[in-house]
Structures are given as C-alpha cells and as structure tokens.
C-alpha cells in the first residue's frame, strides 16, 4: 500500500501547491477537503470493520494425491459502509512435509459478499491445513489498516495411494488367520505339543511323558508350544531423505493396511509422533480406524532421520509375540536390523525398505520407489 | 474434477483463483454508475458554463443531462449489442431535436451556438490577458434566439461528453482518465483567475473524491487482476451501491469546511503569502517563466521585510526610462499601508471601501497634479515612457506627480491609494507612457480660509482631499505597540520633542539628522533576524539599511 500512500501524498502536494499559488478560496477549499478525506475514510473504515467476516468453506475433509479440491473464501460485511480494501492471505500448509504456499487477495467486502474459489491439489500425502493467515482491512484511501483475526481454518487429509498386493505369502496369511502356535519358541501351553525328545539335563520332571517313556524304555520329555497373537504389527519410521521417499513409504504402509483390512485381518500399528515425542500404538480393525489413525499420523508426525519407532518400541508392547511384524522404513542400518531382531525376538519380522536405492542388506524386502506399483504387487513377506 | 494444475516443486499446487461475483443487481449497478456519472458531468459542465456569460436554458439542459447519463449508463452495463443501442439512442436524440425544428434550423442553431460559446470564451480570456484574440463574426440576435442556440449547442456537446465519460468510467473503468478529462473544465478557468460557481466546483470536487475513494476496485474488466503475485478483485464487482453512502458524507465534508472557514472571512495565512512570494521571486527562474507564473497566479500586495536583505548591483538593465524632463524625479512600484514590524501590508478591504466613498472618482495617485492644477501652479509637465526589461511586468513604476488618469492609461490599474499595477495578469505590461509633473509635497497643507476661496466644483475635490488627509492620519500612522514605545524612548533620549520645533517639517528634519548621525546607508545590511522588528533592528542593532 506504499503506492497508494505515495499517490495520496502526491495529490496532497498538488493541492498544497494549488493553494499556495492560487489566491482564491477555491484552492483552500480543495486543500481542506483533501486533508479531511483521510479522516473520513478512517472513520468509515473503523465503523465498517466490525462487520467484516471472512470464512473458509471446504467440502471434503480428505482427498487423494493429485486430486483437486476447491476451497472457497468468502468475505462479507454486515455493516452499512463498504470496505473497499481487504487484504487476505490464504495459507495452505502440508503439516507432514512442512511445505507451505500462500495466496494474497485484495477484495471488497459488501453486504452480498465476495467469494474466491481456489483450487488446490497435493502431489504428496499429508495433512493440509488451510487457514486465513492474515486479514487486514484498509481504509478507502489505503492509508490506514487494521488487523482482524480470522479463526477459520480447515484440515484436509491427502490420503496415500493404495497399490494392490498380489504376491504376498499365503502361508503367512494362513498363520495369521488360523492362530497357529509358534514353530520356533517353546512355551507353557499344555494344549499345544510342540516337540518330544529324550531327557536332557535341565528338563523339568513335570514334562516327562511317562507313557512314552515306559514304551520306549527311556525317559521322554514333551515340549509345549507358545501360543502367538493373531495380530499383525505394522511399524514404520518416516526417515526418508526426500518427499518422494516419505510419500512412497506411506503409500506402502497404507497399501498393506488396506490389504489386511480387505482380508479381515485386525492388526496393530505403531509409529512415532515426533510432534509430541511419544510412541503411538493403535489397533486397526476397520477402515474407520485406519482413516483416523492416518489422519492423526499425518497431522502430528514429521519425517525424521532417526528410527524412533525402533528405539522406543521396547516401551510399548513386548509381552506377547506377534505372528507377523512388518517394519517399514526408507533407510536402514545394520544396527537398526540388529535392534529390531533383538527387540522382536519372538515374532516373525519382515523388514520392508521403501527406497529408490538398492540396499546391501539381504534380509529385507525392497520396494522400488521408481516402480512402486509393480514392487507392491510383487511384495513378498 | 480433473483440471490442469500448474506444477510446482514443493508438491502443493494452487490454481489461478476464480472470483465468484456477488450478485449486484442491474438496478443497483445502474444507480451507482448513473449517480457517479451525473455528478461528474454536472460538475464539469457546471464549471464551464458558470464561468462565461452564456444564456442557457437550464430547464432544457438538466433533463437532457439526466437522460444522457441514464441512457449511456444502461448502454454500457447491459450486454446487448452496444453499437446498436448507441445508434438507437442517437437516432432518438436526433428525432427529438427535429420534432420542433427543421434540419436547417438545427444546423443554424448549432452553428450559432458554437459561435456564441466560442466568442464568449475568447472574450473572457482576452479580457484577462489584455490581448485581442480572434472572435468569430456573428449576426445580431435576440436573447431568446441566443438562449436557444447556446442551449442546443450545449446539449449537442453534452451528448458526446457524457458518452465519453460513461465509456471511460463504466466500460473501461479508468478513474485516472475520468479525472484528467474533467480537470481542464476547472483548471483552465482558475488559471486565468476566473472562478466558476461554487456549486459546480463542489460537484466536481465530490466527483474527484469519489473517484479516489472507489479507485481500488474501479480497475478493469477482468474479474481478478494479478499484480506481483497479489490478486485484486475487479470486474462487475466494481459497482458497489454501498459506496454511494460516501456521496452525502463528501458533501457534508465540503459544507463543514465552508462553515468552519467561511468564504467571506477567509484570509490566507501570512506564511502561505510569504512562501508564494518567495517561490515566485526565485531569481533563478527566467523572467519569461517567472512573469507568466506571477501573472497567472496573481500577485499579492505585501512586502515581507524579513526577506529583504543585501542588494547587489548586477549590471543588467531592468528599466529603461525616457523622460522629456531634465529634472530628477522618483518612481514608485509599490506602496505599503500598514507596518506591523515584519512586513508592509495593505489595509483591510473595508477601509478601502471607506476610501472609495471618500474619493469618488479621484485617484490619490493624481493628487499632486490635481493640487497643482487647483492652485494654478506653474509646474513642469513632462512625458515619461518606461520599459520593463527584466523586472516583473505586473509592476508599473509611476512617478509621484502622475497626471495621467486611469482612463488615459489602459491596461493599468490604480491600486487603492497606493500604486499602479498592470491589469494584464498573464503577461503584464512591458511598456507604458504617462504624463507627470514634478513632486511638490507641500500641497497637502491648506488652511480653512484658503479652502473657502474655492468654488463649489473645486470644493468637492478639496473636501475629499481633506477627508483623505484624516484617513491617512488615522490609518497610516499605526505602529506596533512595542515599537512605538521604543521610538518614544529614542526621542526622549535624543531630546526630540515636537514642541521644541517650529513646524512638523523641522521636527522631521531633526529626526532625520539624528538618525543619519547614528545610522548609515548601506546596500548590504543583511537579513533581519526572525521575529525582530525591522525598524528596531535597523535603529538599535544593525544601525544600517
């Protein structure tokens, strides 16, 4: 508005020169009138600004990536006076990726109102917060301005893409669905016989199978199985270097989550809320749970370099093993792999690396970012 | 909805915004633009036609102005074929004209009206400029015919002026062009010190103020105008009938100014007067520019002594004087009336009105010659021709014993009882000739017995002179109070008491001698310090002038 101030200053200077050189009341009349104009303008604006309202109207709370969404910004004025200049700064921010874009509008506010439709889309998933960052009301001459708070804001979730998983291991699926006991760990469940062997030092006397011992004429000991949970645990760390990596990782998590729900498999999800600095663990049994979980995650999580989920996961679960643990990340080190195996010893852990680069580690599954759809389709756990 | 979204690097894409217009009805848009246009047209035309003494029938012009404004507002608001609508409007207007008149009559009236208007304008400017400008020959006509012709011509031009303004305001939305188009209607006349009717000026001021206040959205046809990544709303949303509430507010502001500072008692501040004189007298401005500036912008009857400083000899000729007399004489360019410590000012206008009633047709500038004639003195009458070479041509340097009367000096005004000035405010008077006699200052004193000796025709002049003498003593002997006390003290200190002298002349000479003994004449006295009395500074501090 510096230009408007300069324009008024120029007009005033012209009027002053007119008054100096023209020896007549007419010149004073013009000068006095011009000097009075800003006061009139200020007074009218001060009266009018109380009735000015700005609001955002968004019809959808979530969209897909690259899907367009119109946002309407409506300005209206309940007062009798017209407010000729209103500056509105609309801010669209991706909370997950910390990206922001602004649009500034200069509008008028009348009784009938003015509406601006701004279409947005996002290439990456995340939580878009749309808000009116700045609402400034100028007087008609553009000399004075008043700031007014506009509390209108909306959150729009940009949902990750869903890729079909075609090649997932059916055995694992059966295990999950049949609540099969663990084939690895011994347990104390007498209903599940895991193994029979000859007596060894250290075996408990209570485990001696007396009938078989009598039959084979040597002491035989029975090992009981350890019942495992039918839940799947999906862990992920948003530790990518680029927006594409984060995006691909979330696509993978979301695709796997959808696959599990499609196959009526309840599971648990865990991630690290870097905003509030705590681990988040939630159960997902239906689509609504998934939607809520993702909305919370997209809003409160920032991508990070450290594998915070791995570092903090010992504080969460740990008492019962999971039939399948899926850990997804964009970067992994040998230490991370050791950590995950150490902390999830009684579970079958599958490490899925979502990256555009090949990894030197062999005990993990790679999802190629450059060809994510095919990679997801061929995903083998 | 799939749309082409411009790509950006950070993943967030924002399309070009779209303004969904508020539904301002056609009626409200019409009302807004009609009032806007009508104020502008009436202000501009009012300023023009109230300047010149043209006979005009307002009962015809005003309705036509309303009709033209309404029609053109509608033409530019609705989306039908505008050219067709304009053609229809023109046809209707022409038909209306031909209802009562034949084609030849109409053409004659228009031509006659044009000539009347042209001649009226030219005459007004010629009178101000004191130049003979070319006027068109016109057949004599009665007042009714002149009124009809002027009115028809006014309506004819009103059609095109309204059309143009409507196009600029409604169609093109260019407030700056509307402003520039209407400025000459006022500016050209004011430049020649011709002031229109204040109602028309007020309308024009309100129009300009309304243009300024609505300029933020009177942009262009586009709904959104993008400038440097900021989007400005425009288009049909420009017509905001709500802003019409500003019109009465603006009128009220003008009325408030008029009430707070009434025209009849308005006086420019001394600061503005001095600033103007200072700017006009900037030496570096070449005379050809300075003179018209001073001429056009008027000239003030005031001398600010705070600005009087050193005088230097430039070696350039400023006046060329030819005299048929070999005797020395004095010329005066300016006479101040009241000394207030820092300046010489004129008397208030009311005092000069009293003076006019005292003097009737006589001019004080001719008193010396009138007294000489009255007393049948043998005086030396001579011819004087003065040519202003470099100086301000508004000033007329006249001798104290001026014989030439006002009617003998065309283009020169006798300013009250003081001095002469060119009446050509634009170009001044560069050369003039007059008759004069040598100054004899004792002619002012006349006893009552001598007065009775004169016949009645002469008595009237003498009575006027006597009354003028009283006027002089009661008005021109005023001094600032502090200076008066100081001067009284000065007299007492130097034993200068009028009772100790034979005559006022002797007393005056004694004072002159005393001042000469202590103070000197110099061309470089320097400037009087701000706020100090000029005389006090000269007498007691600087001791030189």
What is the per-residue pLDDT for A356?
Answer: 82
Fold of A228-377: Rossmann fold (3.40.50)
ipTM of the complex: 0.72
Question: How far apart are alpha carbons A21 and A94 in whole angstroms?
Answer: 60
User: Looking at the predicted structure, is the pLDDT value of residue B162 above 90?
Assistant: yes
What is the per-residue pLDDT for A130?
Answer: 93
Q: Which residue of A has its CA nearest to B266?
A: A25
User: Looking at the predicted structure, is the pLDDT value of residue A94 above 50?
Assistant: yes
What are the helix and strand counts (H, E) for chain B? Answer: 17, 15
What is the per-residue pLDDT for A334?
Answer: 82
Residue B467 and residue B358 in contact, taking contact as beta carbons nearer than 8 Å: yes
**A110 Cβ contact partners less than 8 Å away, ≥ 6 residues apart:** A76, A77, A82, A83, B22, B24, B240, B242
Q: Which residue of A has its CA nearest to B264?
A: A25
Residues of A in contact with B237 (CB under 8 A): 108, 114
Residues of A in contact with B213 (CB under 8 A): 37, 41, 84, 140-141
Distance from CA of A339 to the nearest CA of B (A): 34
Q: Hey, where are the domains in chain A?
A: 52-159, 181-226, 228-377
User: How buried is residue B70: exposed, middle or buried, by Cβ count under 10 Å (0-12/13-18/19+)?
Assistant: middle
Selecting from A21, A110, A119 the residue whose C-beta is nearest the C-beta of B240 gives A110
Tens-digit pLDDT profile for residues B276-310: 766 765 554 454 455 445 544 445 566 777 767 77
Q: What is the largest CA-CA distance in chain B?
A: 115
Tens-digit pLDDT profile for residues B359-401: 888 888 888 888 777 777 777 888 999 987 755 567 889 988 8
Question: If pLDDT is split at 50, 70 and 90, which confidence band does B411 have?
Answer: confident
Selecting from B24, B254, B279 the residue whose C-beta is nearest the C-beta of A20 gives B279
Question: How far apart are alpha carbons B231 and A108 in whole angstroms?
Answer: 12
Residues of B in contact with A77 (CB under 8 A): 242
Q: Which residue of A has its CA nearest to B18?
A: A117
Closest CA to B399 of B430, B361, B368: B368
What is the per-residue pLDDT for B3?
Answer: 44
Q: B interface mutation test: which of A1, A7, A8, A28 has the most B CBs within 10 A?
A: A28
Mean pLDDT of B353-358: 85
CATH code assigned to A52-159: 2.60.40.10
Selecting from B22, B253, B276 the residue whose C-beta is nearest the C-beta of A112 gives B22
Q: Do B3 and A100 touch (CB under 8 A)?
A: no
Q: Do B233 and A112 touch (CB under 8 A)?
A: no
Tens-digit pLDDT profile for residues B515-525: 888 888 777 77
User: Looking at the predicted structure, is the pLDDT value of residue B403 above 80?
Assistant: yes
Tens-digit pLDDT profile for residues A6-26: 888 988 999 998 888 887 888
Q: Which of A118-127, A212-221, B48-57, B167-176: highest mean pLDDT?
A: A118-127
**B120 Cβ contact partners less than 8 Å away, ≥ 6 residues apart:** B52, B53, B54
Residues of B in contact with A30 (CB under 8 A): 205
What is the per-residue pLDDT for A316?
Answer: 45
Q: B interface mutation test: which of A33, A48, A91 has the most B CBs within 10 A?
A: A33
**Between residues A119 and A203, the one the model is more confident about:** A119
Closest CA to B323 of B440, B438, B428, B423: B438
**Cα separations (Å) of B229 from A89, A103, A117?**
11, 8, 16
Q: Do B242 and A97 touch (CB under 8 A)?
A: no
**Between residues B196 and A240, the one the model is more confident about:** B196
What is the per-residue pLDDT for B372?
Answer: 77
Question: How far apart are alpha carbons A295 and A156 in whole angstroms?
Answer: 9
Q: Which residue of A has its CA nearest to B249?
A: A40
Tens-digit pLDDT profile for residues A246-284: 899 999 999 999 888 888 888 888 888 877 777 888 888
What is the per-residue pLDDT for B280?
Answer: 65
Residues of B in contact with A118 (CB under 8 A): 14-15, 17-18
Q: What is the largest CA-CA distance in chain A?
A: 136
Residue B399 and residue B330 in contact, taking contact as beta carbons nearer than 8 Å: yes
Question: How far apart are alpha carbons B129 and B427 in whole angstroms?
Answer: 7
The residues pairing with B14 across neighbouring beta strands, listed in sequence order, are A120
Q: Do A107 and B233 touch (CB under 8 A)?
A: yes
């Amino acid at each position: 508005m510096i230009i408007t101030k300069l324009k008024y200053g120029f007009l005033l200077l012209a009027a002053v020169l007119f008054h100096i050189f023209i020896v007549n009341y007419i010149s004073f009349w013009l000068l006095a009138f011009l000097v009075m104009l800003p006061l009139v303008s200020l007074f009218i604006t001060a009266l009018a600004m109380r009735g000015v309202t700005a609001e955002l109207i968004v019809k959808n709370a979530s969209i897909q990536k690259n899907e367009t969404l119109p946002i309407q910004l409506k300005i209206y004025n309940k007062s009798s006076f017209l407010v000729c200049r209103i500056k509105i700064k609309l801010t669209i921010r991706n909370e997950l990726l910390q990206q922001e874009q602004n649009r500034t509008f200069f509008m008028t506010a009348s009784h009938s109102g003015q509406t601006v439709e701004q279409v947005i889309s996002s290439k990456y998933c995340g939580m878009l917060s749309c808000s009116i960052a700045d609402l400034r009301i100028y007087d008609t001459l553009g000399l004075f301005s008043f700031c007014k708070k506009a509390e209108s804001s909306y959150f729009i979730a940009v949902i990750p893409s869903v890729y079909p998983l075609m090649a997932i291991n059916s055995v694992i699926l059966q295990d999950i669905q049949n609540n099969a006991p663990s084939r690895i760990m011994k347990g104390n469940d007498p209903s599940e016989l895991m193994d029979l062997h000859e007596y060894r030092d250290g075996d408990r006397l209570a485990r001696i199978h007396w009938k078989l011992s009598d039959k084979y004429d040597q002491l035989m000991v029975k090992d009981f199985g350890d019942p495992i949970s039918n839940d799947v645990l999906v862990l992920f760390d948003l530790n990518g270097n680029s927006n594409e990596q984060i995006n691909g990782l979330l696509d993978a998590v979301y695709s796997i989550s959808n696959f599990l729900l499609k196959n009526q498999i309840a599971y648990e999800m865990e991630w690290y809320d870097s905003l509030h600095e705590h681990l988040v663990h939630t159960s997902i049994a239906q689509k609504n749970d998934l939607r809520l979980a993702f909305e919370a995650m997209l809003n409160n999580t920032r991508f990070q370099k450290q594998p915070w989920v791995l570092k903090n996961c010992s504080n969460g679960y740990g008492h019962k093993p999971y039939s399948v643990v899926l850990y997804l990340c964009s970067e992994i080190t040998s230490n991370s792999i050791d950590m995950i195996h150490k902390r999830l010893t009684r579970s079958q852990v599958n490490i899925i690396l979502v990256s555009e680069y090949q990894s030197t580690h062999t005990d993990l599954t790679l999802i190629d970012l450059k060809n994510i759809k095919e990679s997801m389709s061929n995903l083998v756990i | 909805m799939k749309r082409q979204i411009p790509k950006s690097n950070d993943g967030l894409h924002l399309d070009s915004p779209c303004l969904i217009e508020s539904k301002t009805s056609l009626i409200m848009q019409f009302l807004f633009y009609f009032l806007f246009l009508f104020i502008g047209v009436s202000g501009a035309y009012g300023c023009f036609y109230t300047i010149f003494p043209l006979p005009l029938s307002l009962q015809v012009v005003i309705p036509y102005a309303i009709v033209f404004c309404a029609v053109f507002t509608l033409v530019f608001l609705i989306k039908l074929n505008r050219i067709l609508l304009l053609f229809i409007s023109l046809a209707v207007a022409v038909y209306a004209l031909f209802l009562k008149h034949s084609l030849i009559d109409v053409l004659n009236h228009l031509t006659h009206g044009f000539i009347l208007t042209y001649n009226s304008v030219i005459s007004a400017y010629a009178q101000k400029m004191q130049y003979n400008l070319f006027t068109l020959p016109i057949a004599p006509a009665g007042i009714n015919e002149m009124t009809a012709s002027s009115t028809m011509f006014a309506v004819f031009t009103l059609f095109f002026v309204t059309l143009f303004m409507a196009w600029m305001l409604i169609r093109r939305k260019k407030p700056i062009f509307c402003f520039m188009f209407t400025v000459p209607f006022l500016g050209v006349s004011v430049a020649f010190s011709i002031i229109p009717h204040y109602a028309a000026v007020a309308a024009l001021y309100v129009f300009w103020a309304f243009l300024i206040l609505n300029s933020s959205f009177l942009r262009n046809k586009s709904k959104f105008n993008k400038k440097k990544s900021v989007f400005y709303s425009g288009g049909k949303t420009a017509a905001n009938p709500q802003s019409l509430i500003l019109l009465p507010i603006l009128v009220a502001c003008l009325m408030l100014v008029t009430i707070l500072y009434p025209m009849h008692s308005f006086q420019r501040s001394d600061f503005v007067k001095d600033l103007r004189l200072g700017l006009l007298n900037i030496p570096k401005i070449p005379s050809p520019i300075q003179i018209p500036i001073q001429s056009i912008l008027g000239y003030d009857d005031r001398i600010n002594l705070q600005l009087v400083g050193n005088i230097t000899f430039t070696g350039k000729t400023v006046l060329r004087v030819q005299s048929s007399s070999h005797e020395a004489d004095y010329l005066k360019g300016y006479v101040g009336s009241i000394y207030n410590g820092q300046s010489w000012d004129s008397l208030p206008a009311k005092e000069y009105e009293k003076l006019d009633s005292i003097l009737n047709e006589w001019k004080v500038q001719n008193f010396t010659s009138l007294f000489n004639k009255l007393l049948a003195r043998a005086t030396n009458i001579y011819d004087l021709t003065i040519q202003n070479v470099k100086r301000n041509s508004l000033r007329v340097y006249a001798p104290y014993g001026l014989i030439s009367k006002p009617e003998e000096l065309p283009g020169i005004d006798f300013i009250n009882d003081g001095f002469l000035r060119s009446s050509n405010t634009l170009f001044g008077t560069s050369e003039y000739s007059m008759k004069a006699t040598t100054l004899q200052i004792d002619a002012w004193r006349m006893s009552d017995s001598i007065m009775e000796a004169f016949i009645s025709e002469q008595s009237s002049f003498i009575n006027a002179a006597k009354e003028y003498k009283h006027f002089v003593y009661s008005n021109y002997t005023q001094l600032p109070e502090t200076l008066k006390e100081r001067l009284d003290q000065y007299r007492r200190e130097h034993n200068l008491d009028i009772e100790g002298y034979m005559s006022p002349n002797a007393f005056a000479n004694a004072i002159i001698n005393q001042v000469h003994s202590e103070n000197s004449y110099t061309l470089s006295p320097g400037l009087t310090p701000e706020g100090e009395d000029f005389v006090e500074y000269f007498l007691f501090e600087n001791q030189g002038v």
